[in-house]
Amino acid sequence: MQVSSLNEVKIYSLSCGKSLPEWLSDRKKRALQKKDVDVRRRIELIQDFEMPTVCTTIKVSKDGQYILATGTYKPRVRCYDTYQLSLKFERCLDSEVVTFETLSDDYSKIVFLHNDRYIEFHSQSGFYYKTRIPKFGRDFSYHYPSCDLYFVGARENNVCDINSVHGLFATGTIEGRVECWDPRTRGRVGVLDCALSSVTAESEINSLPTISALKFNGALTMAVGTSTGQVLLYDLRSDKPLLVKDHQYGLPIKSVHFQDSLDLILSADSRIIKMWNKNSGKIFTSLEPEHDLNDVCLYPNSGMQYRAAGHFECEGLQAEQREEGRGEVFVGTEDGCWVRDVVGRRSPVCQSAGSVGGMGWEAGGASAGGPRVTMLSGWVLSVVRTDADHGRRRHFCPPGRR
């Protein structure tokens, strides 16, 4: 387990180390763990938390208990139970998934958008219904008041989102505009020209920016990502952006998330995840995985983030907790393994990671090399009894706390 620091923010890589081949017998695995220090220090918090080849999308259920991810090859979806720290189920699909959404609080109702124009509905028991849309879809959103699914794609639209407060439907076009629609009247109520607003004095634009990411936060705030690497923060009452943030890589923004407890915005392209203050634009910290990113998922009410990429890499599996807030992010990458990072500031405190029975672990304390990279020393993963759920909970505790 490694700890790196950027802007006085510590990032804990929980899965740093060598992985063991699945074809090895249990006896050979135990023998290899005794000989190789890197293998012995590797942590597997969730059983089989990986994809065979590539992870394309990753999401967390609304109740926070399940992590769902799609990938290849073969096309499949995997569901992980964070309470049991294990793989809940795996289902193979007929074609690759563009994106998906959970319609219920858990995994019992899921809808998949496939790259062959098919829409597939799954229930708790498995496949339920399949239909086909007229054009190839790129994204969709679910309108809860009317139980409608809105799909965008083909030649005009890239992404879409629905405001959970007042139900405004917004879609980003290839012409660099954001169009807002009222689902009640099914008419357009406004248009934002983001392509022109994304061009600043420091920007180097070689082509017309298109909208590649879109996210609402509250009733009036909206973040827009462009194909040229800019993130624009809007107040819906104005057609001018409050803030323009440039990733300076020239790569399309793949996802944008809000971390409300710390007033942060997490924006990601295929190369880096940047966390910055939504009021000033000041960089909080950043994450650069070894492989290209496909998707990023922020765990609800935390600082943990999951990243999806070609090789199903997840950074931020275990979250930190600070005096002023906490956060967790899941990420999938292009090489098929999960990387778990904990972003922390000041003194981290014990963070629950799910229910488990009779388990304890202590991290080593050797250095991993580099002036600002060290091994996490003295931390203990302990199992304690909680009165809330009458079960056992797994905790990471710093030195001096049990």
Kindly give the parts of the chain with pLDDT less than 50: 310-327, 336-342, 344-402
> What was the pLDDT predicted at 300?
74
What are the residue boundaries of the structural domains of the chain, listed by start?
12-348
The CATH code of the domain at 12-348 is: 2.130.10.10
* pLDDT attached to residue 40: 67
* Count of other CB atoms within 10 angstroms of residue 24: 12
Measured between alpha carbons, how far is 304 from 313 in angstroms, rounded to an integer?
Answer: 14
Residues 6+ positions from 390 with CB-CB distance below 8 Å: none
CB 56 within 8 A of CB 72: yes
- Residue range 333-392, pLDDT digits in tens: 555 444 444 454 432 223 333 333 333 333 333 333 333 333 344 444 433 334 444 444
User: 10 Å Cβ neighbour count for 66?
Assistant: 21
Dig out the tokens for 335 from the structure. 């090489």
What pLDDT does residue 292 have? 84
C-alpha dihedral sign at 38, 44, 47, 51: negative
| pLDDT value for 376 | 42
